[in-house]
Amino acid sequence: MRLKDKVAIVTGGAHGMGEAEARLFAQEGAAVVIADVLEERGEAVAADIAAGQGRARFIRTDVSAEADWQRLIAETIATYGKLDILVNNAGISGSAVGSDLSLEGWNKLMAINATGVFLGTTLAAQEMAKTGGGAIVNISSIMGFIGSAEGHPGYAASKGAVRLLTKSAAVRWGPQGVRVNSVHPGYMPAMLHGTNAGGRAAKIPATPLRRLGEPIDVAYGVLFLASDEAAFITGTELVIDGGYIAQ
């Protein structure tokens, strides 16, 4: 088992990529804390993992709130005794706030996608440093590399912020044994939920591997970066996009 005896927090773990990551981590031996605002769904995922002989619990968490982060980390340690891994997966898409270029939309995207990652990275790294280190994986996007006219521009800005925050945190916390890396998923069906059928179909031939990504594609990349197999990898980006931005 690649994460045997590890303790991991996965934000946004109640659905989508976060759920896939949480389930895969549990299969690989980790105790998993699912942190999300979706209480019913999060409790159900944790219960399902536990029913399959895994170790999991749910803690309601608004990642934009510092007090929620403090409580999340404290309860994780109270339950499992330590914190080895954090996956900052929680986030919202540009379509979630519309494309009217509003300041309200910008602020919401930044609060969840960027500030949430800053809070989690900082508070988790502080705790990990006390026990010799750990691994933090921040979920960005291919929009952290390229611009897009789709949705609110705050989305790309927030994901670009995650990319460089990750590098800065890797340099800051490396001497304490904390590794910090970012993952940049490409287009997936869930990401294109608000896109018309023609727009969704156009993404497939535009992707060299000729398909959209699935949550498990990302989960396996996150698993690698969170595991001891990546012990000498920090401050880097793992792009999981079927070759989309290689063109």
Residue of 155, 187, 220, 244 marked catalytic:
155
Instruction: Identify the pLDDT of residue 136.
Output: 99
State the architecture of 7-236 in CATH terms: 3-Layer(aba) Sandwich (3.40)
DSSP string of the chain, one letter each residue: -TTTT-EEEEETTTSHHHHHHHHHHHHTT-EEEEEES-HHHHHHHHHHHHHTT-EEEEEE--TT-HHHHHHHHHHHHHHHS---EEEE-----GGGG-SS--HHHHHHHIIIIIIHHHHHHHHHHHHHHHTT-EEEEEE--GGGTS--SSS-HHHHHHHHHHHHHHHHHHHHHGGGTEEEEEEEE---TTTTTTS-HHHHHHHTTTSTTSS---HHHHHHHHHHHHSGGGTT--S-EEEESTTGGG-
Instruction: Identify the pLDDT of residue 55.
Output: 98
- Assign 71 a pLDDT band (cuts: 50, 70, 90): very high
Name which of 40-49, 83-92, 134-143, 199-208 the model is least confident about.
199-208
Assess whether pLDDT exceeds 60 at residue 209. Answer: yes
Contact status, residue 109 vs residue 158, Cβ threshold 8 Å: yes
User: What is the average per-residue pLDDT within 118-127?
Assistant: 99
Q: Would residue 187 show up in a list of annotated catalytic residues for this protein?
A: no
CA Rg value for the chain: 17
pLDDT, tens digit, 9 for 90 and up, residues 161-199: 999 999 999 999 999 999 999 999 999 987 665 555 556
Q: Is the dihedral of CA 6, 12, 18, 24 positive or negative?
A: positive
Instruction: Identify the pLDDT of residue 222.
Output: 99
* pTM reported for the whole predicted model: 0.95
